[in-house]
Chains A and B, each alone.
Chain A
Amino acid sequence: MKSLVIFIALIPTHFLFAGNDAHIAEMSGEVKVRRGLDEHWQAAKPGLDLDALDTILTGEKGEVRLSLDGDVNFTLGANAILDISDLRRISRQELFLIITSEKIESLPPRRSPGSLHINNVNVLHGAKKTDTGRPKLNSKIEREWQQHRNGGIDLLQQDFYTNAIIKFHKTLKTYVQVKDCGEIYFYLGQAFEALENEGQALEAYSNSISENDEQACQDAPSAHRREKSEKALQRLKR
């Protein structure tokens, strides 16, 4: 049974984008594309071919369905950013090597003075990624962080677990000073749990709880996430 679950979990990654052919199958709302190392965004249109180095961005009401190698679809929801290379095929072994090589687990402490604090992060796995109850974010950095987080959640929700893990790690590494009440770690925990990587899942949930256990994280979404993390810890420890 366990091996069957692993097999099912690996199916999506097995058929992922090999980097040869990706194009926009459908889109709605604001969708932009940045080519390779260019610094400017351009408006996307259906049928546009995408390269592994390209980046895609959706606006507040934008959504885009990508067709990967002709037979796999991926939908990027609103207010999200994703590198096309984030959709490449990453096996569990490769994931392990990537994490090890980058030593992501030894990320620096995220408690530096003057750190940026984001309140009321309410996005949960399985819930719609809206920012209900959350103050409007004006900062460019906060918006970018949110777009990357949303891109990662899309990967997670569509069962691209290894890709989601890489994306969340990159987000953690880039936005070291963003204080998110353990939200990214919470999603990391879910992705590792889905891959039955219990050790990493335990570590991620523990990190999420430790970052969520503060005066500044007493809003409802944080409390809900903390409760889910604690339940996950109990479940995994059993």
Chain B
Amino acid sequence: MRSVRTNIVAMIFLLTCATQVMAQGISRPSGFGVRLAFWNITNQKSSFSLSTDVTNVNSSVSMNGFGSYIYYFSRFQSNIFFETHLGAFAAGSWSLTDSEHDNVSMVIPLLFGLRWDLLPGKLPTSFQPYLTIGGGPYWNTEISGSSQNIVQNEVLVETGTRLGWYAGGGMNLMLASWFALNFDLKHHFINYEQNDDFSGLETSLGFVFMWGAKKEMFRIQDVRVVVEDIYPAYYQFYNSYPIALVSIRNTAGYDIEVNVRSVIKGYSLRAKNSGYFKIRKGQTRDIPVHSLFGTNLLQMERRRSAVLDVEVEGKAGHKITKSASAQLTVHSRNAWDGAIDKLGVFLTPEDQEIREFTKSIRVDDTEEMQQLPDNLKFARAIFSELVQHKLRYHPDPNIPFYMDDRVQYAGETLQRGSGDCDDLVVLYATLLESVGIRTAFVEVQDPEKPIAHVYLMFDTGLTPIEGYRISPNDKRYVIRLRDDNRSTVWIPVETTLVDRGFEDAWRTGATAYLEEGKIRNGLADGWVRIIDHE
């Protein structure tokens, strides 16, 4: 007895666990089934009796409502299905000896109803209990008479149709996404006449085949690439800024959680997970996709195309994984998209080569120079060193569409001995930052000029009323409010004048700032912008 019980428990366990792959409720939208059923139409006991005595052999058979169903269902919404049943039931009693008492009742129900699957599909089980309700016409035929009388046309046939309804429940046991065993229990409410009540319980057992597209937990609707062009110089920026958005629709009919794993093969350090985002049933959510880049990206010598692979894992009791991809372009290490607020990423003040360069610079220690603040002394000395190196301004050539606008790193400009305005600004800012002087870029997009320009300003560290230490003319400097709520004096420098010395570069930078930024209102109108960087 104990082993039987153990076997039953083990079987249930195996059925529950081993078929988790089908555990998404009824995953297919349509199905067709067959059931064998028992429905006690006439409210009599089914029996077979045989009795013999000396003179007679009496035998009778009484059968009270065996039949079968074929049925079809189709998903209405989520866990609710339309059902159509066509059944045939027969009940009757036959006496093999008493031909006067034969009668047969037949019921043919055509039923339309709804079925509600009770468990959300996210439960990892293959058992799918449900409730049903519906109704329809029940055709009834009753034949009574005897077999001899049938020959003599002395048979009484009564037919009728009544509308009735049913309510009940049952269970599907999913053995595959397309096949399930079915157990069903219904109570029919059908009363033909006052004394002819067919109401009663019907029990059936059968199987069902299902077809149609499997119901999905989620759908990847779109992979929208936010950053189609990957610039190696901004690699740290991409680690915190999404490069794409994956639009995911929850089609499960219950809340799910999704994690997006992304990688750009050959470029990413490793795959990056978005972490789990909850998506409510029926909702669509954009999940940001990040990529994890490292300094390896800075080895890129030329522009190449790359593929962003995303793998979406949906979770709700069980897990489903889908993938998608999108194409990107990875540019060369010197490529720049022209966005001035990102020019700062080309600064490399920590580079050994830069540190050694600034370390070797000697600050003029004359009495005149001693009056100046340290930042100005250093800035002047660094600029003079660049003049000594015979650095030259050399504008970029016209850039064809297949080439990137490029910015040289400070070390490259020092080696080449020339650069355009952005190269020289990057060089000078890098050198200043390497000795701890804060810098900012000044971008000028003069509406009256065809091309934009950039120069820089640096922080002297002096307060506004100490400005006289730099110059008695306050037009030569700019007072800026720092983020620590202190105003300090900054000096604009036109770095393209690297061959003419610091004084000229300062004077030209200050004049440009006043004329374009202040007098022509470029700062207020937004075509002169100051971009700080850390």
Q: How far is the CA of A141 from the CA of B466 in the complex (A)?
A: 9
Scan A177-202; emit 1 where CB is below 8 A from any B CB, else 0: 11000000000000000000000000
Q: Could you say which residues of chain A place their CB within 8 Å of the CB of B514?
A: 53, 85
Q: Does residue B416 face the partner (Cβ distance < 8 Å to A)?
A: no
427-484 of chain B: CB within 8 A of chain A: 463-465, 467-468, 471-476, 479, 481
Q: How far is the CA of A39 from the CA of B473 in the complex (A)?
A: 5
Q: Does residue B507 face the partner (Cβ distance < 8 Å to A)?
A: yes
- Assess the B465–A174 pair: CB atoms within 8 A: yes
Q: Does residue A29 face the partner (Cβ distance < 8 Å to B)?
A: no
Q: How far is the CA of A108 from the CA of B510 in the complex (A)?
A: 24
34-79 of chain A: CB within 8 A of chain B: 34, 36-39, 52-53, 55
Q: How many A-B residue pairs have CB under 8 A?
A: 72
Q: Does residue B524 face the partner (Cβ distance < 8 Å to A)?
A: yes
Closest residue on chain B to residue A100 by CB atoms: B524
Scan A101-126; emit 1 where CB is below 8 A from any B CB, else 0: 11100111100000010000000000
- Assess the B464–A174 pair: CB atoms within 8 A: yes
Q: Does residue A231 face the partner (Cβ distance < 8 Å to B)?
A: no
- Assess the B468–A140 pair: CB atoms within 8 A: yes
Query: Which one of A88, A106, A109, A173 lies within 8 Å of B479 (CB-CB)?
Result: A173
Q: Does residue B158 face the partner (Cβ distance < 8 Å to A)?
A: no
Q: Could you say which residues of chain B place their CB within 8 Å of the CB of A140?
A: 468
Closest residue on chain B to residue A99 by CB atoms: B524
Q: Does residue B191 face the partner (Cβ distance < 8 Å to A)?
A: no
Shortest CB distance A88–B (Å): 6
- Assess the B519–A88 pair: CB atoms within 8 A: yes
Shortest CB distance A170–B (Å): 8
Of the listed residues B487, B518, B526, the one surrounded by the most CB atoms of chain A closer than 10 A to its CB is B518
Number of interface residues of B (CB under 8 A): 28
Q: How far is the CA of A106 from the CA of B518 in the complex (A)?
A: 19
Q: How far is the CA of A177 from the CA of B486 in the complex (A)?
A: 11
Scan B506-534; emit 1 where CB is below 8 A from any A CB, else 0: 01001100110011010111100000000
Q: How far is the CA of A39 from the CA of B474 in the complex (A)?
A: 9
Closest residue on chain A to residue B464 by CB atoms: A174
Q: How far is the CA of A116 from the CA of B515 in the complex (A)?
A: 32
Q: Does residue B485 face the partner (Cβ distance < 8 Å to A)?
A: yes
Taking A37-B510, A102-B523, A108-B487 as contacts, is the C-beta distance between A141 and B465 under 8 angstroms? yes
Q: Could you say which residues of chain A place their CB within 8 Å of the CB of B510?
A: 37
- Assess the B463–A176 pair: CB atoms within 8 A: yes
168-207 of chain B: CB within 8 A of chain A: none
Q: How far is the CA of A83 from the CA of B476 in the complex (A)?
A: 13
Shortest CB distance A176–B (Å): 6
Shortest CB distance B362–A (Å): 26
Q: Could you say which residues of chain A place their CB within 8 Å of the CB of B463?
A: 176-177
Query: Which one of B468, B473, B519, B524 lies within 8 Å of A37 (CB-CB)?
Result: B473
Q: Could you say which residues of chain A place their CB within 8 Å of the CB of B475?
A: 36-37, 53, 55, 83
Q: How far is the CA of A233 from the CA of B229 in the complex (A)?
A: 56
- Assess the B464–A39 pair: CB atoms within 8 A: no
Q: Could you say which residues of chain B place their CB within 8 Å of the CB of A175?
A: 464-465
Q: Does residue A21 face the partner (Cβ distance < 8 Å to B)?
A: no
Query: Which one of A36, A39, A177 lies within 8 Å of B472 (CB-CB)?
Result: A39
Q: How far is the CA of A52 from the CA of B517 in the complex (A)?
A: 13
Q: How far is the CA of A208 from the CA of B464 in the complex (A)?
A: 22
Taking A108-B485, A174-B464 as contacts, is the C-beta distance between A37 and B476 under 8 angstroms? yes
Q: Could you say which residues of chain B place their CB within 8 Å of the CB of A11?
A: none
- Assess the B465–A19 pair: CB atoms within 8 A: no
Q: Could you say which residues of chain A place their CB within 8 Å of the CB of B468?
A: 140
Q: Does residue A97 face the partner (Cβ distance < 8 Å to B)?
A: yes
A-B pairs, 7 with minimum CB distance: A97-B524, A98-B524, A108-B485, A174-B464, A101-B524, A85-B519, A141-B465
In the complex, besides A53-B519, A98-B521, 11 extra interface pairs with C-beta distance below 8 angstroms are A19-B519, A36-B475, A37-B510, A37-B511, A39-B473, A39-B476, A53-B515, A97-B524, A175-B464, A176-B463, A177-B463
Binding site for A on B (CB under 8 A): 463-465, 467-468, 471-476, 479, 481, 485-487, 507, 510-511, 514-515, 518-519, 521, 523-526
Binding site for B on A (CB under 8 A): 19, 34, 36-39, 52-53, 55, 83, 85, 88, 94, 97-98, 100-103, 106-109, 116, 140-141, 173-178
**What are 5 A-to-B residue pairs whose CB atoms are below 8 Å?**
A37-B510, A85-B518, A94-B524, A174-B467, A175-B465
